[in-house]
Structure 1
Amino acid sequence: MSQPEYIATEHGRRLAYRRRDGAGPAVVFLHGLRSDMEGTKALHLDDWARTAGRAFVRFDCSGHGQSDGTFEDGCIGDWAEDARAILSEVTEGPVVLVGSSMGGWLALLMARAMPERVAGLVTIAAAPDFTEDGFWAEFTEDQKAEMEASGQVALPSEYGEPLVVTQRMIEDGRSHLVLRAPLDLPFPTRFLQGTADADVDVSVALRLLEHADGPDMRLTLVKGADHRFSEPAELATIVAAVEDVSGSGSGGK
C-alpha cells in the first residue's frame, strides 16, 4: 500500500490522511477512539468510493494510526481541531461526514461548527459526550481519587492494552459536549446503532435522536449488531445510508 499524505496543522500536529478523487459530495470518514483510518469500515467505504467513483477522505487523528503524537496526550478538543483541519485543507465544497463511535461525536462537532460545509451526516454507534456520560459518570470513587492523585486512570479494554483516560481528556470533554445545548442538523442525517453494542447503549442513540433538531433525521437500529458494526450486512447498511444522504443533500463551502 502506498504511503499516506500528511498535513501540518496550525496547532503543530502532523496528520496522516488518504484521499481518493471522484465525484462529490466528498465522503469523509472519522474513526473511533484508539481506532484509525485502516479499520474495516473505513476500508469498506474506500472500496465503495473507488467502485462508485466518489471522492473519499479518511485520516488519523493525532495520537492514532500513522499521525504524529501520543494518544495519552490527546483529548476531544485536539481531535476536533484535527478534523476541522482536514476538512479545511484537504476537502472543498460540500462533504458527507461519516463518524464512527468517537468519530460520531467529532462529526457532530463539525456539523455544529461549520454546517455550511455539510451535505449529509451518517453516524455509526455515535458516542457523543462519552467522556462525561460514559467515563466520568461510571468512575468509582476510588477511580476518581486516582484521577485526582495521578491525573489518569487505566481502564481494561477488550480491544488490547488498557485504555488510559486522563484528567485533561475529562476536563476538555466538558467544553465540547453536544447533548446539553441545541444541536441543529439542517441536512439529511442518519444515525446507525446496533442493539448488541456493549460500548454504546441504544439509549444514547435514542437520546441523540430526541435531542437533535433537523428536517430529515432517522435512526436505524440493527438487531444483534455490536459496536464494531462491521459484518457484511452492517457495512451494506452504512453504504446505503451514505448514498441516501448524498442523493438528497446540499451544501457549499
Structure 2
Amino acid sequence: MTEYLTTPQGRRIAHHRTEGQGPGIVFLGGFMSDMTGSKAMFLQDWAAAQGRAFLRFDYSGHGQSSGAFEDGCIGDWVEDALAMIKALTEGPQVLVGSSMGGWIALQIARTLPDRVKGLVGIAPAPDFTEDSMWAGFSEAQRVALMDQGRIVIPSDYSEDGYPITRRLIEDGRGRLVLRTPLSLPFPVRILQGTADTDVPVSVALRLMDHADCPDLRLTLVKGADHRFSTPECLAMIATAVNEVSV
C-alpha cells in the first residue's frame, strides 16, 4: 500500500515500505523514473523473500509524490531521500542507486556515513548534470537555458523529451562528488552494461578510480543497456546486495 510522508521541506513523498530484518534496503531511482520500475519491484519481492526490510519511494516531482518535476533539482531529491531514510528506516542501510540514484546514494553516504552498510550502483551517474548535460549542450542551448530558464532535450524514454532547467544545472554544480575527496568506508558494487548509451562505461571507471574505498568492485555486463532489467541483470543486483550486506 502506498503511504505518504511530509518532509521537513513540506514535500509529500509517496513510498512503499516492507517490514523485515536489517540491514534494510533502500532503492533510489533515476531521473524522471518512479518507484514502480522493474528493478524496484524486483528488489521488493526479493527482499520480502529474504525477510529483509525494504523501502522504495518517489522523489518530489516524480511518480505519486507532490510537486512538479521542473521545479525540482538534485538537492531537493537528496533532501527527500535523507528524510525518508531518517524517518522510515532503522540502523545501517544498503543503498541501491540506479543512474541518478547512484549520485544521490553518494550524497547520502557523505551526509549519513554511519547509516550506510553498503552501496550498489546500477549504471551510477554522478555529476551528470555537469559532465553529461551541460558539457553536451551546444552554445545555443546554453544561452537559451541561461536566458529562458529551461530547455527541452530529446529522450528515448519520453515522447515529449526532458525539460532541463537552469536551477537543475546550477544546483548540480554544488552537489558534484567527483571533484573532491569521496570516502566510501563500506563495500561498494558497481554494475554497468557495456551497451548503455545514457551513462557510458567511462563514468563507472572514473568513479572507481576516484573513490577512496577499501572494497569496491565494478562488474561490466557485455550487451546490457541502461535499463539493466533482464532476468540475468536483476539476479546480479540481488547478488550485489547480498555481498555488501555482510
Q: TM-score with structure 2 length normalisation?
A: 0.99
The alignment status of 1:122 with 2:120, answered yes or no, reads: yes
Distance in 1 between residues matched to 2:145 and 2:51, nearest whole Å: 48
One-letter code aligned to 1:101: S
Query: Unaligned stretches of 5+ in structure 1?
Result: 248-253
**Identity score, percent:** 62
Distance in 1 between residues matched to 2:34 and 2:84, nearest whole Å: 15
Distance in 1 between residues matched to 2:8 and 2:50, nearest whole Å: 34
Aligned to 1:190: 189
Find the residue that maps to 2:24 and give its secondary structure.
strand
Alignment of 1:57-68 (within 5 A): 57-68=55-66
Query: Unaligned stretches of 5+ in structure 2?
Result: none
Runs (4+) of structure 1 exceeding 4 A deviation are: none
Cα deviation 1:56-101 (Å, max 9, x = unaligned):
0000000001100100000000000000000100111110000000
One-letter code aligned to 1:43: M
Find the residue that maps to 2:42 and give its secondary structure.
helix
Distance in 2 between residues matched to 1:191 and 1:148, nearest whole Å: 34
Aligned to 1:108: 106
Alignment of 1:196-207 (within 5 A): 196-207=195-206
Aligned to 1:153: 151
Distance in 2 between residues matched to 1:196 and 1:112, nearest whole Å: 30
The alignment status of 1:134 with 2:132, answered yes or no, reads: yes
Distance in 2 between residues matched to 1:148 and 1:76, nearest whole Å: 18
Aligned to 1:250: none
Aligned to 1:9: 7
Find the residue that maps to 2:220 and give its secondary structure.
strand
Aligned to 2:68: 70
Find the residue that maps to 2:214 and give its secondary structure.
coil
Alignment of 1:204-243 (within 5 A): 204-243=203-242
| Number of residue pairs matched by the alignment | 245
Q: How large is the RMSD of aligned CA atoms in angstroms?
A: 0.6
Tell me by how many angstroms 1:50 deviates.
1.2
Cα deviation 1:120-159 (Å, max 9, x = unaligned):
0000000000000010000001101111221111001110
Distance in 2 between residues matched to 1:178 and 1:100, nearest whole Å: 16
One-letter code aligned to 1:241: A
Distance in 2 between residues matched to 1:244 and 1:149, nearest whole Å: 48
Tell me by how many angstroms 1:23 deviates.
1.0
Find the residue that maps to 1:127 and give its secondary structure.
coil
